Structure 1
Amino acid sequence: MLVTVTYLQATDPATLAPPSSPRPSSFTLERVSEPDPRLNSRLYCAVGAGWSWTDRLGWPPEEWARWLAVPGRETWVARVDGEIAGYAELAGETRDSAADGGTEVEIVYLGLLPAFTGRGLGGHLLADVLVRAWALPERWPGLPPATRVWLHTCSLDSPHALANYRARGLEVYRTERLERRVALPSS
């Protein structure tokens, strides 16, 4: 199957555009204080099942623990009325190749559980995660200030994902088409 991968970024936190829909009063986003491989695995599977997320399906708990233990990596959980609605994983890294020597923060995964899609929550989740991404170096001593926040999406993700990313102020900087062998989600 031919898959289009789109890479987006922001290089200035001032470009963040909030959602136009009202924020649900019961919507919260909280950082997972202690790495929890089982939580990340469960959320990855639950959110990604409908979008052909497969690259981590074979990870044993030890691999999840190794990934989460790297300084600058964070998990954020969205809740609605106290119930988990979605999540995001952030990874901050100082790039030697970055001309400014700043921290680049990747939004590695972001998504809502199926029961919470279609409610206008995606824009709020993304906007809140972008604020946390820009502030990530403040929570990790030794990381210089963030100079870039980026992510990628593909044509297998939610049909609303790309529009949401652009509406929040992220700009496309690269697109590629790749041949991928994927197992399409069952309906």
Structure 2
Amino acid sequence: MSVPDGYYDVPTGKIAAVVTSLEMLAPPVLPPDPVGDWTLRRVAHPDATWYRDLYTRVGREWLWSQRLRMSDAELVRTIRADGVEIYTLEHDGGDEGLLELDFRTKNECELVLFGVTAKLVGTGAGRLLMNRALQRAWAQPLTRLWVHTCSFDHPRALAFYQRSGFRPYRRQIEIADDPRLDGTLPRDVAPHVPLIA
């Protein structure tokens, strides 16, 4: 598909992000674990309330909203599906990181969600979470591990994935309803994405 160079209006009430998909075709050499008081725990049967709370605390500033718009039944079906694994990073008695791996495609794994709460950004917790994600994923008979990130995410997210061994292979534009306009997220989050009502 050929798209002419130029500017294109995004409809009022919508947001547009540049999405970069990245993949890894073989296990990487992992860097050393950072020192910190973090523990990875698998959540075998996550409930909707727990999941939404952690998802919101990790992703609110990056406009994560898709899972917030799901009904409880749809969300539970998604996060408890066979082949989907949910982990949290525990710190100071609380859940402060979210990792979701999807093994439902044969010989592949999607790193669906990955992130830590604001209090752990920059502490090394993200590196520990990624090391554990890569170990868990590549413990399976994979030929491909993939993830996507977008221009709404943390400004260092893309470089972090590349340092972790992922290589970009596709770029897309995603257009969606602005979750701050329908009350899914507060209007004052994500100031790096201007609110245009």
Per the normalisation by structure 1, the TM-score is 0.81
Residue pairs, 1:64-79, within 5 angstroms? 64-79=75-90
- Of 15, 18, 27, 2:31 maps to 18
Give, in angstroms, the shift of residue 86 of structure 1.
Answer: 0.6
What is the alpha-carbon distance in structure 2 between the residues aligned to residue 16 and residue 77 of structure 1?
23
After superposition, give the CA deviation of every residue in 1:73-118 in whole Å (9 maximum; x if it has no partner): 0101112344322111111123xxxxxxx42111111111122112
Q: SS state of the match for residue 133, structure 1?
A: helix
Counterpart of 2:60, as a letter, is A
Tell me what 2:120 maps to.
116
**What amino acid sits opposite 1:177 in the alignment?**
I
Preserved contact between residue 88 and residue 97 of structure 2 (Cα < 8 Å): yes
Q: 1:38 maps to which residue?
A: 49
Letter in structure 1 aligned against 2:24: A
Correspondence 1:1-187 to 2 at 5 A: 1-13=15-27, 15-18=28-31, 23-94=34-105, 102-135=106-139, 137=140, 145-182=141-178, 183=180, 185=189
Aligned residues: 169
- CA shift, 1:16, in A, is 4.1
Does the CA contact (< 8 Å) of 1:122 and 1:164 recur in 2? no
Give 1:35 shift: 3.2
C-alpha distance in 2 between matches for 1:18 and 1:36: 33
State how far apart, in whole Å, the 2-side matches of 1:165 and 1:81 are. 26
Distance 1:180 1:8 in 2: 21
Specify the SS of the correspondent of 2:161: helix
How far apart, in 1, do the equivalents of 2:115 and 2:26 lie? 23
Deviates more, 1:145-154 or 1:119-128: 119-128
The CA deviation string for residues 108-139 of structure 1, in whole angstroms up to 9 with x for no partner, is: 1111112211223222211211211222x4xx
Q: Distance in 2 between matches of 1:79 and 1:104?
A: 27
Instruction: Go from structure 1 to structure 2 and tell me whether the alpha carbon gap of 1:158 and 1:186 turns closer, same or farther (over 3 Å shift).
Output: closer
TM-score by length of 2: 0.77
The amino acid across from 2:130 in the alignment is L
| Amino-acid identity (%) | 36
Where does structure 1 differ by over 3 angstroms across 4 or more consecutive aligned residues?
Answer: 178-181
